[in-house]
Amino acid sequence: MAAGKLDSDGAVLWSWQEGTTDEDALSDAAATDDGGVVFAGFFNGTLNGVASEGLGDFIAIKFDSDGTEEWRWQDGTEMDEGITTCSKTADGNVVLTGSTLGDWVETNTGLWALVAVKLDVTDGSVIWQYQAGVPSQSVVSRGSASRADGSIVIGGVTDGDWDGELTGFTDFFTVALDEDGSELWRFQDGSLLSSSSAWGVAALSDGSVVLAGTTDGNYAGTNAGAQDFAVVKLTEEGVLDWTWQDGTPYDESFEGVATGIDGTSMVFAGYTFGTWAAAQAEDEDDMDAVGMSMDGDGTLLWTYQAGTTNHDNFIGVDVGPDGAALLAGFSAGTWEDPTADFYADFAGVLIETGAVPATPAPADDIVITPSTPFPVTGTSGDTSEGSCGDGESFLITSDVLPVVQGCYQQTTLSFDDGGQYEEYTVSGLTEWEHITMFGSSSAFADDDGDEATSTAPAPTKTLPTRRFRWTVGALAPPPHPL
């Protein structure tokens, strides 16, 4: 197990390491009101003179601001268990969540059962304990978040009937516990013949809950080809609000999520094997680290992708008092240190507020440039003239829009007053600079002032959308974004 503290410039203030002859790990941490920090995870073997009761035991350790240990808590059964999350509650204490194969505080009727324990931050004493599972199957905690009313929300993955019947092979699951450890509500959802899992949980200022993870099904839209990013938004009472899904032909997942400085937005961290927010650093055999921000309605604010020619992944995210997002994880390449060896090193990126362009962004100047042998030409602020053949495309660009790595197009035809305009639906996978619009009739071959309008579909929360209006012909006003 290893832990450390960095200052605002990334310099190491203190570090700590301890372990047994077997596998041990700290999985999560929570800063305390007194300037200290609580780390939690699992250990096997004998640690600090205390032997584990089974294959793996729970552990939590509190350090003060200088890295001096104040207390530690260890517990377990004769079976295997571990802590995966650690959250500070509204009263200043901490709640740990994890999983066990044993009978910890309840009889386990399945495989992995969900567990939670609230500890007094002053001395590590137990305030309450919780265990719940599903018959013959598993409920595995992978994320948690505390809310202002003192409750805690836990999320992860289940292959059983947690709240109703299992939808896919595995489903998202959530449970909310009040300040005394009693259940408030449960939630479960997924898609048919697919696997869905939450890896991170965030609570917004209004008490609503966000799950971040992955799905290989058509959960909130058509799957891009493998494991897609997935986001689930629930109301304060655990009712489904909206869902979002995006991806590349390769695997990707969000590993963590944090609440933004405004209390209503979210910042996500994870990985992709494809080209999502930037060109893949190597190829689909190596993963890149990614970040993303989204507002409370599911609109993308910014996206980030970076990596080396080896595996890179952000597995944790936090937001500072200035709104900056810290994305942390590992890199098996030369991320920052050119002398790094083959093994994975710690890696992190601090993104200042506004440092990554917003997506989508507004634009005042639209330029139509050729992209087919029958081009539509034009300049910013001018009306564009030209022709475009059936099924061919033209490109709308603007120098004030951020770079896009790919677009997805769906075309819907609608005619008004004898075919005066066509309506096109356009959804961007990332950011908006190059938006290719495909025509499927001869309307664009006529220089008679016909107007074409691109409109967003009804909100689905699956992809960002923006509306643009442009003209083909010299009679209408110049292009203008709506």
Q: How does pLDDT run along the chain (482 residues), one tens digit per residue?
A: 989 988 878 789 999 998 888 888 899 999 999 999 999 999 888 887 777 776 789 999 999 999 999 999 999 999 999 999 999 999 999 999 999 999 999 999 999 999 999 999 999 999 999 999 999 999 999 999 999 999 999 999 999 999 999 999 999 999 999 999 999 999 999 999 999 999 999 999 999 999 999 999 999 999 998 999 999 999 999 999 999 999 999 999 999 999 999 999 999 999 999 999 888 766 667 899 999 999 999 999 999 998 888 889 999 999 988 889 999 998 888 776 666 565 678 788 888 865 444 333 333 333 333 333 223 333 333 333 333 333 333 333 333 322 222 222 222 222 222 332 233 333 333 333 333 333 322 233 233 333 333 332 333 333 333 323 232 222 222 233 22
CB-count burial class (<10 Å; 0-12, 13-18, 19+) for 377 = middle
pLDDT at 81: 93
Please give the pLDDT value at position 226.
93
Question: What's the pLDDT score for residue 138?
Answer: 94
- What's the confidence (pLDDT) of residue 417? 28
Query: Residue 145 and residue 355: Cα distance in Å, rounded?
Result: 27
Q: What structural domains and CATH numbers belong to the chain?
A: 2-351 (2.120.10.30), 360-482 (no CATH)
Q: What is the pLDDT of residue 350?
A: 87
Look at residue 410 in the predicted model and tell me its pLDDT.
Answer: 28
End-to-end CA distance of the chain: 54
Classify strands 196-203 and 209-215 as parallel, antiparallel or unpaired: antiparallel
pLDDT of the residue at 228: 96
What pTM does this model have?
A: 0.71
Query: Across 277-354, where does the E strand assignment appear?
Result: 288-294, 300-306, 312-319, 325-331, 345-351
Report which of 391, 430, 421, 424 is spatially closest to residue 410, judged by C-alpha positions.
Answer: 424
Q: How far apart are CA 437 and CA 95, in angstroms?
A: 51
Phi–psi pair at 269, nearest 5 degrees: -135, 145
- pLDDT of amino acid 462: 32
User: What is the pLDDT at residue 218?
Assistant: 96
Phi, psi (degrees; rounded to nearest 5) at 106: -140, 160
CB-count exposure of residue 35 (10 Å: 0-12, 13-18, 19+): exposed
pLDDT at 321: 86
Cα-Cα-Cα-Cα dihedral sign, residues 39, 40, 44, 46:
positive
